[in-house]
Amino acid sequence: MSKGEKLAVLKKYFGYDSFREGQEALIDSLLSGRDVLGIMPTGAGKSLCYQVPALMLPGITLVVSPLISLMKDQVAALNQAGVHAAYLNSSLTYGQYRKALWYAAQGRYSIIYVAPERLETEEFLDFAGNAVISMVAVDEAHCVSQWGQDFRPSYLKIAEFIQKLPARPVVGAFTATATKEVRQDVISLLKLQEPFVVTTGYDRPNLYLGVYSPKDKYAAARSFIERHPGQCGIVYCATRRLVEEVCERLQEEGFSATRYHAGLSDEERRISQEDFTYDRKLIMVATNAFGMGIDKSNVRYVVHYNMPKNLESYYQEAGRCARDGEPGECILLYGGQDVVTNQFLIENSQENEELEEEVRAVVQAKDRERLKKMTWYCFTHHCLRDYILKYFGEQGTHDCGNCSNCLSSFETVEVTRIAGALVGCVSACRQRFGISVILDTVRGADTARIRKYRMNYNLYYGALAGTPEQILRSVLNDLLCQGYLASTDDQYAVLKLTDKSDRISQKGERIFAKLPKEEKELWQRETFAEEKRRADFRGKGRNASLQRPMFDRLKALRSEIAREEKVPPYLIFSDKTLEHMGVLKPKSKEEMLQVTGVGQYKFEKYGRRFLAIFLDKDQVL
């Protein structure tokens, strides 16, 4: 298959000029008949890896996908691009289903999305047995593995289905989950045959990563959101109660917010998700139940109101930001309570209840370890991206220049006196208390709790009264990270001495820490993503920069068309496409086709209406 042909398909249907990392190799393999396993992070562009070959192979491509909303979205996007595609799942009435199958049998669709449960039904098998199926693509392939959190038993039937087909099609599996267990499960349970495996990097350079410990989380979140007018974002909260609370406050203050959590009815959740998808509501406040089905490409920021239980969850949720490749921002608002909440959840997890005692202990120990690594992410003073990439077993980036640590200035200062008092206080109370009691004690706080524990008689009571709490916390966390102190693994997180502790108190070891130079909280500044966005536009075509009113006009036209077509606006054109258009200001068909994301089909359908914005109306052909 020539390179030209692939690129022509990419341009014609998707409007893109080049492949991203990994895509071409996977496409080539599928076209040559060899199975593949593509492991690429969220937003990397896995769908194109099977959609492009699907349009080049003679027969039908079946795409197995776990979620109805996801299928609907992808099929709508393909239809918008002029590809004949359909889905078969339980959202269709029996009549609709029969009709779709009949069309499929007539060879009307080149791509058919199908829910895994359907594969076993007699009707579907009957259709598949008589059709020419060239490829089976399994999306979200980690659902086949019990190791992942999204296990779907019906995925286990996929291999059986493929075996029943008269001729074995080439099989492609795609996932963002990179752990070894999942990868092995995918290969063996889907019975991939000597698959060509591509793993692309986990880095998402367009995402700004930030961690902040604001005193008032709500005020921090609000101020962040205020600085992103007209943009879509997700605010993840740890509990349903908090979702309700935050969403209500935002609504009261006039923000366009909606909410999503497992306590709402199916209908409420559907409406909520749709409002967000269609840009009718800009802010989605949600628990982690708002998840896998989100394919919206123009989510510009993800705020974590609480620290999640591990980095896997964090990166997956934050990864829903800026799938269009434009700059996006992911910020985490850390509070000490977050650790306690997560510890409680680990100790009281319902899933764990069902496990045998021994297994449960192992699972919990793993969970605690992951929580610890997540917590350290919130305290590290080194590059956040570097930390994440190394966590996932990759070579780090060292200094990414696009995270809150790389953009803050730190200085190394001696903190031996502070460290000595903290270790001394832990020792003097016979290692019975957790972080907050110890900090209150050295600060000399006069609270009921301190009096109850008689910590006002502790030798170190008030010893560090003049030092800002932020600094005390920072030093304490450094001591924990470096093993001068430890904390118990239960929900109380009691501070304990270690065999390194006496180096400070007795052996006169000097302790240094990297502390932020300025106290001013970074999220109050203009953030990097905004600066970068402007710089990027300056760099792109013709030295022109995007004018806000122009972007708004293009968006308004997009909304108008979306309403007519009854599809979400981003399926007409992505934000990135509109922005590029606003910079290029195309005046002809040829110029319009140079805009990223404008393919021939979409040009015919909508391009002229957008051209009219840049021309006097009567000049358009």
- Chain residues binding ligand ADP by CB under 6 A are 16, 19-20, 23, 40, 42-48, 295, 297, 323-324, 574
What's the rounded Cα separation, in Å, for the pair 107 and 111? 10
Annotate 268-300 with three-state secondary structure.
Answer: HHHHHHHHHHCCCCCEEEECCCCCCCCCCCCEE
Q: Which is nearer to ligand ADP, 319 or 516 (CB)?
A: 319
What's the rounded Cα separation, in Å, for the pair 140 and 148? 11
In this structure, the chain runs to a length of 621
Residue 333 is inside which H or E element, if any?
strand 328-333
Q: Which is nearer to ligand ADP, 46 or 72 (CB)?
A: 46
Q: For residue 599, give the 3-state DSSP assignment.
A: coil
Residue nearest to ligand ADP (CB): 45
- Minimum Å gap between C-beta 176 and Mg ion is 8
- Minimum Å gap between C-beta 380 and Mg ion is 30
b/e map 111-148, b = 16+ CB within 10 Å: bbbbbbebbeeeebeebbeebebbbbbbbbbbbbbeeb
Site for Mg ion in 23-82 (CB under 5 A): 46
Q: Which is nearer to ligand ADP, 198 or 225 (CB)?
A: 198
What's the rounded Cα separation, in Å, for the pair 136 and 105? 16
In contact, 391 and 373? CB cutoff 8 Å: yes
> In one letter, which amino acid is 405?
N
Q: Which is nearer to ligand ADP, 23 or 258 (CB)?
A: 23
Q: Could you tell which of ligand ADP, Mg ion, none binds residue 42, using a CB distance below 5 to 8 A set by kind? A: ligand ADP
Residue 550 is inside which H or E element, if any?
helix 548-565
- Minimum Å gap between C-beta 16 and ligand ADP is 4
- Minimum Å gap between C-beta 47 and Mg ion is 5
- Minimum Å gap between C-beta 176 and ligand ADP is 6
Q: Could you tell which of ligand ADP, Mg ion, none binds residue 43, using a CB distance below 5 to 8 A set by kind? A: ligand ADP
Q: Which is nearer to ligand ADP, 35 or 324 (CB)?
A: 324
In contact, 125 and 68? CB cutoff 8 Å: no
Q: Which is nearer to ligand ADP, 65 or 375 (CB)?
A: 65
Q: Which residue has the tokens 């963002």?
A: 176
Burial of 520 per CB tally in 10 Å (0-12, 13-18, 19+): exposed
Q: Could you tell which of Mg ion, ligand ADP, none binds residue 57, using a CB distance below 5 to 8 A set by kind? A: none
Q: Which is nearer to ligand ADP, 142 or 217 (CB)?
A: 142
How many CA atoms are closer than 13 Å to the CA of 578, on its beta-carbon side? Answer: 24
- List phi, psi (to 5°) of 259: -140, 165
Q: Which is nearer to ligand ADP, 45 or 233 (CB)?
A: 45
What's the rounded Cα separation, in Å, for the pair 122 and 28? 33
Q: Which is nearer to ligand ADP, 294 or 419 (CB)?
A: 294
Closest CA to 378 of 349, 341, 403, 346: 403
Q: Which is nearer to Mg ion, 109 or 113 (CB)?
A: 113
- Minimum Å gap between C-beta 101 and ligand ADP is 26
What's the rounded Cα separation, in Å, for the pair 340 and 602? 51
Q: Could you tell which of Mg ion, ligand ADP, none binds residue 45, using a CB distance below 5 to 8 A set by kind? A: ligand ADP
Q: Could you tell which of ligand ADP, Mg ion, none binds residue 48, using a CB distance below 5 to 8 A set by kind? A: ligand ADP
- Minimum Å gap between C-beta 36 and ligand ADP is 14
- Minimum Å gap between C-beta 23 and Mg ion is 13
211 - beta bridge partners? 332
Q: Could you tell which of ligand ADP, Mg ion, none binds residue 40, using a CB distance below 5 to 8 A set by kind? A: ligand ADP
- Minimum Å gap between C-beta 339 and ligand ADP is 30
- Minimum Å gap between C-beta 328 and ligand ADP is 12
Closest CA to 375 of 496, 221, 211: 211
Residue nearest to Mg ion (CB): 46
Q: Could you tell which of ligand ADP, Mg ion, none binds residue 580, using a CB distance below 5 to 8 A set by kind? A: none
Q: Could you tell which of Mg ion, ligand ADP, none binds residue 515, using a CB distance below 5 to 8 A set by kind? A: none
Q: For residue 403, give the 3-state DSSP assignment.
A: strand
Q: Could you tell which of Mg ion, ligand ADP, none binds residue 571, using a CB distance below 5 to 8 A set by kind? A: none
Q: Could you tell which of ligand ADP, Mg ion, none binds residue 175, using a CB distance below 5 to 8 A set by kind? A: none
Q: Can you give the binding site for Mg ion, defined by CB under 5 A?
A: 46
